[in-house]
Structure 1
Amino acid sequence: MSAEPAGTEPEPAAGIGADRPGAVPPWRRRVADAVRERMPLWLQTRCGLERRNVVALTVLLAVAVVLAAQHFWTGRTQTVQAPEPVRAVAPRQGQTEGAGGAEGTGAKSAAAAAPFTSPGGPASAGAQIVVDVSGKVRRPGIHRLPAGSRVADALRAAGGVRPGTSLDGLNQARFLVDGEQVVVGAPAPAAGPAPPDTGTPGAAGAPTAPVSLNTATVDQLQTLPGVGPVLARRIVDYRTRHGGFRSVDQLREVDGIGERRFADLRPLVGP
């Protein structure tokens, strides 16, 4: 037996020790050496490429890949849909203008409640007016009618006129106003009804006989000088609220009648 130099270890024989536990296969050693040569020096000194180091490095790389993929997925451009336009629906409007109603387009609803009521009456749908029908009718008294009713509707509500009663001078197609009194069979004023408003109210001239403030209609009051449709309606409203005129002096309490106008009307009217 030959002596070996001191400090040297004998090399394992071929096939001996390669299969014992803990032995590193030659190919793994070569791979580890190749990877170690490509690593930075500070990393070579801190860790060796053992199995646990390789596993830790693999897990770290996998986590980095997952985080990068998540960041890319959440930061991608997304398509945003524009909101659908909403069309505004215009409210339906009923025709409530004028007494003729020939130019109205949407007033076929409530104005047709009475047979003689034309679309586009002066009052709103669903309202009622109170009129006093007196004279030669079958059922005189207070009657409630739909807004937009005419004189003919008031006569029908009062049971019709008595036989032999003349309706000359009574405009049955005229619209009624709230608080109005319809007198049937009374003689018409001498001056007749006022013409359409073409200028100054009361331009048709003063009546020859005194006009009764308690029985005159809106048309009859308009025959007075200086009295138009608005002022005539105020006189009728005052008469309805106060139960009639007890004296001509109460005419001063009507809104729109001053001292000068009262002086002009006093000799032409009576209670």
Structure 2
Amino acid sequence: MPLWVRLRCGIEPKTLGALAVVLVAACALAVHHFWTGRPEPVRPPERRLPAVSADPVAVPSPARSEGAARGAGVVVDVAGKVPRPGLRHLPAGSRVEDALEAAGGARPGTDTTGLNRARVLTDGEQIVVGASPPATPPPGGSGAPAGPVSLSTATVEQLDALPGVGPVLARHILDYRAQHGGFRSVDDLRHVNGIGTRRLTDLRPLVRP
């Protein structure tokens, strides 16, 4: 330090050295305080996604759903001497009496003695109203009908047993009978879907109105 400064201020060299040390220490403390007092950036908390299970989600089988839907009711075919023959959709547990009422009931004068009205219906069955029960073949017989089959009272099984008549054609015959109230003559068979002139000729000696 210049002599004139020391003389003017009246500071001794030892005192001046101590003052310099104090100033240096103060600067060091200031620098340390500045660096340690700076605010650190705050990091947002990490978002953890929920773990996804690797197990596949169970999807109901279409076949199982359809089977459950079908179990809610039954479909039966009501034929014979009723005002409204055809398919009837009824709740599960319904009886023959319920199907008969859904078809309008039996026509006046119809014999329903062989019809068990208390029987529980099964899905897909056919109920023929006013049809006589099939004839029981004699013991040891071949099971062939003893005479012409009545078109007005024959069942699907009896018609199916005729030559050239399968279950589909037998159903057509019953549908025609239900729609027209029976057969007035054997020639009415020509109006049944699937019966032509040749088949009518073959069936003529085997059936009657």
In the superposition, the TM-score normalised over structure 1's length comes to: 0.42
Shift of 1:232: 1.5
Residue 24 of structure 2 corresponds to residue 30 of structure 1:
yes
Shift of 1:183: 1.5
Shift of 1:247: 3.0
Q: Which has the higher contact order (CA 8 A, sep 6+)?
A: 2
Determine the structure 1 residue equivalent to 2:53: 83
1:8-53 deviation per Cα after TM superposition (whole angstroms, max 9, x unaligned): 7723558xxxxxxxxxx86662136559xxxxxxxxxxxxx79xxx
Contact 1:128 1:145 in 2 (8 A): no
Pair 1:87–1:12, CA change in 2 (3 A): farther
Determine the structure 2 residue equivalent to 1:177: 126
Pair 1:180–1:191, CA change in 2 (3 A): farther
Identity %: 35
Residue 206 of structure 2 corresponds to residue 268 of structure 1:
yes
Q: What is the Cα-based RMSD across aligned positions, in Å? A: 4.8
Q: Report the AA paired with residue 155 of structure 1.
A: L
Q: Quick check: which has more Rg, 1 or 2?
A: 1
Q: Report the AA paired with residue 184 of structure 2.
A: R
Pair 1:258–1:29, CA change in 2 (3 A): farther
Residue 111 of structure 2 corresponds to residue 155 of structure 1:
no
> Which of 240, 244, 254 is matched with 2:178 structurally?
240
Question: SS at 1:126's partner residue?
Answer: strand
- Correspondence list, 1:116-131, <5 A: 125-130=73-78
Q: Report the AA paired with residue 8 of structure 2.
A: P
Pair 1:221–1:34, CA change in 2 (3 A): closer
Pair 1:263–1:231, CA change in 2 (3 A): same
Gap runs ≥5 in structure 1: 15-24, 36-48, 97-109, 111-123, 134-142, 148-152, 159-174, 196-203
Pair 1:131–1:263, CA change in 2 (3 A): closer
Determine the structure 2 residue equivalent to 1:11: 9
1:97-156 deviation per Cα after TM superposition (whole angstroms, max 9, x unaligned): xxxxxxxxxxxxx8xxxxxxxxxxxxx9434553658xxxxxxxxx74669xxxxx9534
Contact 2:79 2:178 in 1 (8 A): no
Determine the structure 2 residue equivalent to 1:137: none
1:192-242 deviation per Cα after TM superposition (whole angstroms, max 9, x unaligned): 9xx8xxxxxxxx76x563322112222222232111233222211221122
Contact 2:79 2:174 in 1 (8 A): no
Contact 1:180 1:236 in 2 (8 A): no
Aligned pair count reads: 164
Determine the structure 2 residue equivalent to 1:217: 155
Gap runs ≥5 in structure 2: 13-18, 82-95, 101-112, 119-123
Question: SS at 1:10's partner residue?
Answer: helix
Contact 2:79 2:129 in 1 (8 A): yes
Question: SS at 1:216's partner residue?
Answer: coil
Determine the structure 2 residue equivalent to 1:170: none
Q: Distance in 2 between matches of 1:131 and 1:264?
A: 26
Q: Distance in 2 between matches of 1:215 and 1:154?
A: 13
Pair 1:189–1:219, CA change in 2 (3 A): same
